[in-house]
Homo-oligomer: A and B are copies of this chain.
């Protein structure tokens, strides 16, 4: 049964985001810490590039607070590559204890909930949540060789090249992790790999409904309620599924995959996707708004599609999962 996990003393001590050139060319450009124009990130393969991006993001996060690896008790994170190698190779050098996660594109929220719960339990003092994705490594693994130049359907999404990470601890800061909820797997019967948004929409609607049923909050208590990477197609389906069931949702409901790119001006079809999407939009954009006092409450629902090419070839449907995290501006401190 779903549980609302309340965090009394978990704060976002620092945040970092690293993106690629397509994300840099998008509307949120100014909010990201670092951009790498070279899609290889100075390495010789896309897989190594993604690990290098994670490595840079973690180093940046720690250096902002002048911390060393020894100051960090746990890293919770993951990515989309087979056996989550972008993260394991990216984290390795730090020597920080590591919990590898796989929640597809929901991994960022999963990491925040895990690290926050370890802090709540008193098991660690300071933890990092991170997630990454890379357009080239994802295309190569999930779809077609890039050189093939395959045409994409209008419902397809563009995997975000990006890594977002949060440093979480009990040290009071302007941003609190107020609560979180682990989602359940929901199968909408979708089998089209070019329509991941549709596959995740039902899970997003389920988690959002469940979150408001469990908490004493209303949509009006939030300034932004954002799904992870449904994209335009999936977001519309999610809105249809929810109807008017959550009063006041419509004004503040958005999707990281729709925000990160200019859907009209950039060739990204239905919008952004990938673990890195909600990670960089949250770490870079949303939490900046909280930090600056432009908003006070954010509800993030990172959404993941659970499948691999083999399960699709074998005719199995693509199910979805969505984990919720409430970030709150800590006005006492801010």
A47 at the binding interface (Cβ < 8 Å): yes
CA distance A185 to B58 in the complex (A): 15
Report chain B residues within 8 Å CB of A319.
88-89, 92
A121 touches B121 (CB 8 A): yes
- For A3, A181, A183, which residue has the most chain B Cβ atoms within 10 angstroms? A3
Distance to closest chain B CB from A299 (angstroms):
17
Stoichiometry, as copies per complex, reads: 2
Among B91, B182, B314, contact of A74 (Cβ-Cβ < 8 Å): B182
CA distance A319 to B181 in the complex (A): 32
Report chain B residues within 8 Å CB of A311.
47, 85, 89
A47-B314, A88-B319, A308-B83 known; A100+B99 contact, CB < 8 A: no
Main secondary structure of the interface of A (DSSP, over half): mixed
CA distance A96 to B2 in the complex (A): 7
Among B91, B309, B316, contact of A185 (Cβ-Cβ < 8 Å): B91
Among B84, B99, B185, contact of A114 (Cβ-Cβ < 8 Å): B99
Considering only CB atoms, which chain B residue lies closest to A119 in the complex? B121
23 contacts between A and B (CB under 8 A): A2-B97, A3-B74, A5-B121, A5-B123, A5-B124, A47-B314, A78-B102, A81-B310, A82-B83, A82-B308, A82-B309, A82-B310, A83-B104, A84-B102, A85-B310, A92-B185, A95-B185, A97-B181, A99-B101, A99-B182, A100-B110, A118-B121, A121-B123
Given contacts A5-B118, A91-B185, A99-B110, 8 further A-B contacts (CB under 8 A): A3-B73, A3-B74, A85-B308, A89-B306, A98-B182, A114-B114, A117-B118, A121-B121
Chain A contacts to B: CB under 8 angstroms: 1-3, 5, 45, 47-48, 70-74, 78, 80-85, 88-89, 91-92, 95-104, 110, 113-114, 117-118, 120-124, 181-185, 187, 306-311, 314, 316, 319, 321
